[in-house]
Amino acid sequence: FVVAILAYLRTIAPDVSFWDCGEFIAASFTMGIMHPPGAPLFTIIGRLFTFFPIHNVAWRVNVISVISSALTITLLYLIIVRLTNIWRGQPKNAMDRWIVYGGAVIGALAFAFSDSFWFNAVEAEVYAMSMLFTALAVWIVLYWKDNPVRPGNERWLILIVYLLWLSTGVHLLNLLVFPFIFIVIVFENNLSMKRLVWVVLLQAGIPLTLYILFFHYNPSTMSYQQFIAHQNTAWKFFEVTFLIVLVGSLYYLYKVDRKAFKMWWIVPLLFIIGYSTYILIYIRSSMNPPIDENDPDTWAALKNYLARKQYGENSLLLTIFARKAPFWQYQINKMFVRYFSWQFIGTGTTIGKDGYISEIISLRGLYGLPFLVGIIGAVHHFTKDWKRGLAVLFLFFMMGLAIVFYVNQENPQPRERDYSYVGSFFAFAIWIGIGAVAVMDAVSEFLKKHKAILKPALLVSLLALAFAIPINMFAFNFYSHDRSGNYVPYDYSYNILQTCEPNGIIFTNGDNDTFPLWYLQYVKNIRTDVRLVNLSLLNTPWYIKQLKYRQPKVPISLQDKFINNIGLYPWPKAQTVEINVPDSVYNDEIAEMKKYHEMPKKPLNTSGKIEFIVKPTVAKRALRVQDIMVLNIMMADNWRKPIYFAVTVSDKNKVGLNPYLRMDGMAFRVIPFKGIEISAHRLRENLFHKFLFRNLNNPKVYLDYKTKGLLINYRSAFLRL
């Protein structure tokens, strides 16, 4: 615990990070509603941490991950010790303690300094806390296993069920630990618990299996309308099948094992208690916090929020056999094997055409040593205790390859997804610890007749393993995981906001030009006059209405009835759109250009309107909702508020306004004249006097390839100037 927490505190992000971190911090501070399906327990804990009078708010929420990760490493150490003691027995002497405890330390620290876990440990994300719940469940069931038939020992299993249902308020990934728990229980002597496990598996497994086999979705032979009807039939079938199996299995339990029957009823009760954190979403949404995604302040809206309807109607269970990308080449090889290699084999350096590291397997840095010891540990575990070895294998599979198969990721992804599989890496780290024990046991067995050199040999073996695995992993990964001087997310977001004139509206593209800006506005109270309009969210009615009615309001002329039913707008061909320009707008722009000697040589068009070509954006036949809304906001605003597009917004999302965009810094402003690429005095003022560029010239601060890609926008601004 001490080693892990010191390492994480040394490398913790000093402020906000990219991706979802800004959203989690801002939602914690404001008790807001984050993206579906939410993380209410994390929000509550995050809110408590924001009260601590130390450092800044972002650091306080970041430290939740630090503490969670250090506790996870401690539990992993205890898990390895407990699994090892199952076949070795309790350590009998000092050498036994060296072997068992030393091996457990090596396995635990190997995971502590693995690429993805360390990355999660130093930023405000849910994955560190989620991993803590998983580790806690594994440790508790192994503790229960020590005496499974002792009266009252079932309370430990009840605690596991409660914790895992509670953990859904952090992330649903924790539920994938249930197969590990079931396997541990099935191989013990507690008959009632065995029966309960088999009944639960049958209750879930039979309807689910039939559901998938008979009702999977084939997009090549089924239209979307057919799919909806197909899905409704599938759910009815699932509900009827589940009800039949449920009644039959409960009747069996009632007749055969009253104790198991009573225990079964505790499970749904604990589900209600643990899942009750989600009532926070309904309560807080009704109070209209600054971040209120999906606006789930009615039961119908809450249901859609929890079902993630914002991301589409397709049921993952129905589409599970229709792969969205090549299964082996992309989903397995690139999106799992490559990530696994980063943890325990080595990390490549070649950036492919898609902007991601291209090597699937590389020995660089780690030389494959953690992987080799882990394989030794897996073989040794199955040789000595195949039952628990099988449980760990299921943990590895369920939190890795099963996720790959279920999620069915498309190619390309907007970011690396290695953080999703940390539970699988956790399972392999157990085998690294057991492998270290196996290596030292082999040394002990080989030298048992030479007692004089046995202790020194064991010590050398332990040190060699420590240097080869956790110490080397720490040394190799330290630079790339040390965020102590990395202020790029804060500064980049700050610079976007500072580009805007007072009371401006800025269209943003995705996570990295939205969530950190929410943090600056709602937590740091920086440039709250600027209204962010996220183009992805702009496709949803709830977001459009929030923009229309919540301060600072965005000019929108559409009626609520139209907004509630808004959808794709027929646009069969490219068409010219006109927006009127008041004379006062022309006069103000010309006066400013004259003042700073920036008048172009060509005469300016002051015809009273701007004209631009809007092309269809959906199947060459329609406009997206976001396109309709950008045009409506432009027209309803009538040039009263300055309107910007962040530099990260692609040309296809600018509805043909490119000729009228002027770069003012980290955003393009819509102006009434064509062909004016920059305002030199504004760009100079922003770049040299307003913007922050902390530590960009510091070689000790690591910038990953994605961050460097964003920083190209700075280069572009300076080159234009």
Tens of pLDDT, residue by residue over 300-354, are 899 889 888 777 655 555 556 677 889 999 999 999 999 999 999 999 988 888 8
- Pull the structure tokens for residue 591: 């006066």
Residue 216 scores a pLDDT above 80: no
Residue 46 lies in a domain: no
Q: Residue 273, Cβ neighbours under 10 Å: how many?
A: 12
- Closest by Cα among 238, 267, 264 to 250: 264
Residue 42 lies in a domain: no
Work out the average pLDDT over 648-676. Answer: 94
Residue 163 lies in a domain: yes
One domain for residues 255 and 396: yes
- Identify the pLDDT of residue 442: 87
- Identify the pLDDT of residue 312: 64
One domain for residues 343 and 399: yes
Alpha carbon separation from 188 to 147, 165, 257 (Å, rounded): 9, 24, 17
Work out the average pLDDT over 617-624. Answer: 92
Residue 537 lies in a domain: yes
Residue 274 lies in a domain: yes
Task: Among 480, 497, 513, give the residue marking a domain's end.
Answer: 480
d(CA 96, CA 444): 10
One domain for residues 519 and 474: no
Residue 595 scores a pLDDT above 60: yes
DSSP H or E run through 644: strand 643-646
Residue 35 lies in a domain: no
Residue 232 scores a pLDDT above 90: no
DSSP β-ladder status, 609-614 and 622-623: unpaired
Q: Where are the beta strands (DSSP E) in 125-241?
A: none
One domain for residues 283 and 345: yes
One domain for residues 347 and 239: yes
- Identify the pLDDT of residue 694: 95
Distance of CA 492 to the CA centre of its chain: 21
Task: Among 455, 480, 505, give the residue marking a domain's end.
Answer: 480
One domain for residues 412 and 442: yes
Contacts of 452 (CB under 8 A, 6+ apart): none
Domain count, the chain: 2
Burial class (CB in 10 A: 0-12, 13-18, 19+), 335: buried
Work out the average pLDDT over 214-229. Answer: 56
One domain for residues 474 and 605: no
Residue 29 lies in a domain: no
Contacts of 493 (CB under 8 A, 6+ apart): 16, 22, 513, 516, 517, 519, 520
- Pull the structure tokens for residue 607: 């015809």
- Closest by Cα among 46, 219, 76, 221 to 136: 76
d(CA 370, CA 390): 21
- Identify the pLDDT of residue 211: 58
- Identify the pLDDT of residue 601: 84
**Mean pLDDT across the chain, nearest whole number?**
89
One domain for residues 255 and 356: yes
Upstream peptide bond of 37 is cis (omega within 30 degrees of 0): yes
Q: Is 576 helix (H, G, I), strand (E, B) or coil?
A: strand
One domain for residues 409 and 536: no
The pTM score is 0.90
pLDDT tens column, 250-307: 777 777 777 767 777 777 888 888 889 999 999 999 999 999 999 999 998 998 898 8
- Domain that includes residue 664, residue range: 488-720
- Identify the pLDDT of residue 188: 79
Residue 128 lies in a domain: no
One domain for residues 445 and 505: no
- What are φ and ψ of residue 135, in 5° steps? -65, -40
Task: Among 422, 445, 480, give the residue marking a domain's end.
Answer: 480
pLDDT tens column, 395-448: 999 999 999 988 888 888 888 999 999 999 999 999 999 999 999 988 887 777
pLDDT tens column, 690-711: 999 999 999 999 998 888 888 9
Share above pLDDT 90 across residues of the chain, in percent, rounded to a whole number: 66
Sign of CA dihedral 461, 462, 467, 469: positive
- Identify the pLDDT of residue 227: 56
Residue 605 scores a pLDDT above 90: no
- Pull the structure tokens for residue 74: 């401690």
One domain for residues 401 and 265: yes
One domain for residues 519 and 660: yes
User: Range with the lowest mean pLDDT among 390-399, 581-590, 600-609?
Assistant: 600-609
- Which position has the token pair 């990934």? 173
d(CA 91, CA 103): 13
